Amino acid sequence: MGNEGSYVALGLKVWRAQIERAGKLFGGLSSEEVLREIAPGRNRLLYLWGHLTAIHDAMLPLLGLGERLHPEFDVAFVSNPDKSRAGIPSHEQVRRAWNVVHAELWKGFEKMSSSDWVQRHSAVSEEDFAKDASRNRFSILLSRTNHLSYHLGQAVLGLK
């Protein structure tokens, strides 16, 4: 019997802790606060929140857990910079999407076995995966957790 389960459990524990931290930080903002910039001329908190929601939504197909729930978030929060478009999803829409996406991800994670985590993710071909087995689902979990921490470090600067 290996220790695979303990590595996966740890990866999920760190993911969950960062998601809860982000959920408290963004979820506690008023509709005015969410429009604050993290530094003068930089991204607004709402943009970061929507950006993280979009990137995490895209983990559903990447990890084989289902279709995206909010593909329309990409044009507002991924492929275009903040303040470049007139209409982006509202504070309430981002809040709802954040909650729904993370509930869906967590439901999927709970069904994954440790051998599922070392399978290839859907953005890598079978051929490329045969050459580099590190391009697996666990690597997506670790890199998305770090991406979240990166933007959390920025988001705290926008508080008060």
Binding site for its own copies (CB under 8 A): 1-4, 6-11, 13-14, 18, 38-40, 42, 114-115, 118, 133-134, 136, 138-139, 142-143, 145-147, 149-154, 157
Closest distance between its own copies and the C-beta of residue 157, in Å?
Answer: 5
Closest CB to its own copies among 60 and 155?
155
Closest CB to its own copies among 75 and 157?
157
Closest CB to its own copies among 90 and 113?
113
Closest CB to its own copies among 6 and 90?
6
Burial-class residue 40 by CB neighbours within 10 Å (0-12, 13-18, 19+). exposed
Q: For 56-76, what is the HEC assignment? A: HHCHHHHCCCCCCCCCCHHHH
- For 124, other C-beta atoms within 10 Å of its C-beta total 19
Closest distance between its own copies and the C-beta of residue 104, in Å?
Answer: 23
CA 28 to chain centre: 18
Write the single-letter amino acid at 127: E
Closest distance between its own copies and the C-beta of residue 99, in Å?
Answer: 22
Closest distance between its own copies and the C-beta of residue 96, in Å?
Answer: 25
Segment holding 159, helix H or strand E? none
Closest CB to its own copies among 98 and 117?
117
Give Cβ neighbours of residue 121 (< 8 Å, ≥ 6 apart): 62, 63, 64, 135, 136, 137, 139, 140
CA 51 to chain centre: 8
Closest distance between its own copies and the C-beta of residue 144, in Å?
Answer: 11
